[in-house]
Structure 1
């Protein structure tokens, strides 16, 4: 999974038949501080992500091909989540996925 920011739409006069009816978005992978981290990617969007929204991308090509219903589709990247907010003290991806690094256990409540 990657954290990314939607940078634009893809308009294609010709595209693979499996992409018919799908939105294709240009997504810029970003680091925890929001800075670009790698080359932009084209991802399938079934969630309705908007321009400059932070999204979670999956690189599971098999799942993307199943989503479009074509085992021979060139689909690889797919938007699987839209990030609403980031909790202070976590990275955006940790907050968005609910996956947090190991933290020391919270102290027990005081005895009464």
Structure 2
């Protein structure tokens, strides 16, 4: 599981039948302190997130497909939560 911020949306008029009705969002992965980390990821939204929101997302087939709740959907990344707050408890970052 990773943390990131939604930076945009993707509109697709033609897509796999299992993805009809699914919202596609661009996520910038981040370190817990908000520093961008790595390349932007295209993810399926399963929680109703929007641009500018900080989210939890998973990458890798099975976890991402399970999050969407559609068996056999061709999914590599899925948004699984909206972050309300991050609380640092130790000096580990």
Q: What band does the TM-score fall into relative to the shorter chain?
A: 0.7 to 0.9
TM-score by length of 1: 0.70
TM-score by length of 2: 0.82
| Native 8 Å contact 2:32 2:86 kept in 1 | no
Q: Which protein has greater RCO, CA pairs closer than 8 Å, 6+ apart?
A: 2
Which runs of structure 2 are paired with 1:34-45 in the superposition (5 Å)? 34-45=34-45
* Unaligned residue ranges in structure 2 (runs of 5+): none
Larger Rg: 1
* Unaligned residue ranges in structure 1 (runs of 5+): 92-100, 102-112
> In structure 1, what is the Cα distance between the partners aligned to 2:75 and 2:51?
21
Superposed displacement of residue 89, structure 1: 3.8
Following TM superposition, the consecutive aligned residue runs of length 4 or more in structure 1 with deviations greater than 6 angstroms are none
